[in-house]
């Protein structure tokens, strides 16, 4: 197998971004390349074309690689539901919820089998795998049964590139310390170092590069400048985009509620491409201000996060805001929260059977959480009563079934025959299970222009996010190749592959 694994000295050093850039760089050279992460912990997921669920980062990397995402690219996805438990998604399908201790004890062999099958499948279909580790490869307390770093690099028999984040400080200690904690055979697999997120004059780090190479005996393949506004989705809440800095004289102010177990926050991504739109992430009533619209995003633990919002005094604020004519959109878990009541008879949402919680009462609907999760790509049209009958597409990932009191206010008519979601108050309240609602450029533009007209500011033109995002992949690859020894990286991959195939 030919490939490379990108590991990091810690979480959020830029592994996902670098892996994405490598995927696009190889794809631009006409090489059939695929991303791979054996085990991903994230509530920001991606639905494949066949309706299966994988980590969002691997879906994005597949886009960068110009290939279709599949479950083989991320065979194990862990979706945190509390501080103690995570839902296990195996080969795209949720199978059970377990504690971390239970997972380590009883899932290891099953996980190894899934990883082995995925590697074999991808090896048949692609020339190169760009693999990504997780966290640090030297978490000593977890290392004996790890399923994502050196164990997987050994299974695939690929070399490793170690990435360190200089922006957080301590880059020399983090690299040397990580290498010192590796076993000899693991360290022998590390063939290159990358320093990421450098700010300032790169020439000032020349002595640092020399010291690292002399100390470790491993070449520094590149020092990558800090990349502002790269616009590539992160995989977890550590990578949640900051408040928008899209400044101008006539801004739309959109507040997005930020629950502890936020999921699929990529639903908000398109607004970062819009001129004159500011996004604020809000966790408490004191931060709300006077927004032009409020979005309640998805969550992996709807009832717990609703209780969190109530404790933060956001429930009363939202009710008053709606009564005064405010615009609110709830997506998936946010849609469920807007209803009258949430019922969890099986403990599917909370882990505690027969739990129920009063909703925000802004949509006349009741949500019941079921045992089986819905994961499906979806297409449909907007109810003409809710605006122009525009075609929309996206995906659904949810446990709940939401039943409206009346059929007069459905938001969408889906191709599979279902009526879905809710609109009311002349479109000022929308609820839907359709993730990536705002990725539909024409509909998003109409929604934003409605807000602009209400505010008395000029309307805007449609922003083609998909094409803009595709250009961002190329920019990312160019950034990587400008500051990385690309020929050396390719030499590491192909030389290792040739030598180990012969062996």
Reported as a pLDDT band with limits 50, 70 and 90, residue 247 is very low
Q: State residue 388's pLDDT score.
A: 82
CA pair distance 162, 108, nearest whole angstrom: 25
- Catalytic, out of 23, 332, 409, 436: 332
| 453 pLDDT above the threshold of 80 | yes
Q: State residue 238's pLDDT score.
A: 42
| 246 pLDDT above the threshold of 80 | no
pLDDT in tens, 115-141: 999 999 999 999 999 999 999 999 988
| 232 pLDDT above the threshold of 80 | no
Reported as a pLDDT band with limits 50, 70 and 90, residue 22 is very high
Tokens found for residue 493: 């991959």
Is the separation of the CB atoms in 210 and 218 below 8 Å?
A: no
- Catalytic, out of 23, 398, 409, 435: 435
| 63 pLDDT above the threshold of 90 | yes
pTM: 0.80
| 369 pLDDT above the threshold of 80 | yes
CA pair distance 431, 296, nearest whole angstrom: 9
Reported as a pLDDT band with limits 50, 70 and 90, residue 429 is very high
Is the separation of the CB atoms in 293 and 329 below 8 Å?
A: yes
Host H or E run for residue 249: none
* 200 CA to centre of own chain: 29
- 332 catalytic per annotation: yes
Q: State residue 271's pLDDT score.
A: 94
Is the separation of the CB atoms in 161 and 130 below 8 Å?
A: no
With 0-12 CB in 10 A as exposed, 13-18 as middle and 19+ as buried, what is 407? exposed
CA pair distance 398, 388, nearest whole angstrom: 27
- 23 catalytic per annotation: no
| 368 pLDDT above the threshold of 70 | yes
Is the separation of the CB atoms in 103 and 77 below 8 Å?
A: no
Q: State residue 415's pLDDT score.
A: 92
């Amino acid at each position: 197998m030919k490939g490379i694994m990108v590991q990091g000295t810690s979480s959020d050093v830029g592994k996902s971004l670098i892996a994405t850039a490598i995927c696009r760089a190889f794809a631009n050279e006409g090489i059939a390349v695929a991303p791979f992460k054996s085990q991903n912990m994230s509530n920001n997921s991606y639905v494949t074309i066949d309706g299966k669920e994988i980590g969002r980062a691997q879906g994005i990397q597949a886009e960068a690689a110009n290939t279709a995402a599949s479950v083989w690219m991320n065979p194990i996805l862990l979706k945190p539901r509390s501080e103690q438990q995570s839902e296990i998604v195996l080969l795209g399908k949720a199978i059970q919820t377990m504690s971390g201790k239970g997972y380590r004890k009883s899932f290891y062999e099953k996980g190894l089998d899934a990883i082995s099958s995925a590697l074999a499948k991808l090896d048949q279909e692609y020339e190169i795998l760009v693999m990504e580790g997780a966290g640090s490869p030297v978490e000593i307390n977890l290392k004996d049964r790890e399923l994502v770093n050196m164990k997987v690099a050994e299974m695939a028999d690929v070399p490793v590139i170690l990435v360190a984040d200089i922006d957080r400080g301590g880059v020399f200690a983090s690299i040397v310390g990580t290498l010192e904690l590796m076993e000899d055979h693991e360290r022998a697999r590390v063939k290159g170092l990358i320093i990421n997120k450098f700010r300032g004059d790169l020439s000032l780090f020349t002595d640092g590069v020399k010291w690292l190479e002399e100390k470790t005996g491993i070449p520094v393949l590149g020092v990558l400048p800090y990349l502002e506004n790269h616009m590539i989705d992160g995989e977890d809440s550590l990578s949640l985009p900051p408040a928008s800095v899209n400044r101008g004289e006539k801004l739309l102010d959109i507040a997005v509620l930020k629950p502890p177990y936020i999921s699929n926050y990529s639903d908000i991504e398109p607004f970062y491409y819009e001129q004159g739109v500011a996004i604020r992430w809000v966790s408490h009533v004191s931060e709300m201000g006077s927004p032009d619209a409020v979005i309640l995003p998805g969550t992996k633990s709807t009832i717990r996060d609703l209780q969190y919002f109530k404790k933060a005094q956001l429930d009363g604020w939202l009710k008053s805001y709606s009564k005064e004519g405010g615009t609110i959109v709830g997506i998936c878990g946010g849609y469920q929260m807007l209803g009258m009541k949430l019922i969890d008879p099986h403990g599917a949402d909370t882990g505690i059977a027969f739990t129920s919680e009063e909703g925000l009462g802004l949509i006349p609907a009741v949500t019941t959480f079921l045992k089986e999760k819905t994961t499906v790509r979806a297409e449909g049209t907007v109810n003409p009563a809710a605006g122009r009958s525009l075609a929309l597409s996206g995906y659904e990932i949810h446990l709940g079934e939401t039943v409206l009191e009346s059929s007069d206010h459905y938001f969408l008519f889906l191709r599979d025959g279902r009526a879905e979601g809710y609109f009311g108050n002349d479109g000022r309240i929308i609820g839907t299970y359709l993730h990536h609602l705002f990725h539909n450029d024409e509909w998003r533009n109409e929604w934003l222009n409605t807000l602009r007209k209400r505010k008395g500011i000029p309307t805007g033109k449609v922003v083609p996010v998909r094409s803009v995002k595709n250009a961002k992949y190329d920019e990312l690859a160019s950034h990587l190749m400008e500051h990385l020894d690309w020929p050396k990286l390719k030499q590491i991959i192909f030389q290792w592959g040739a030598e180990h195939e012969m062996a």
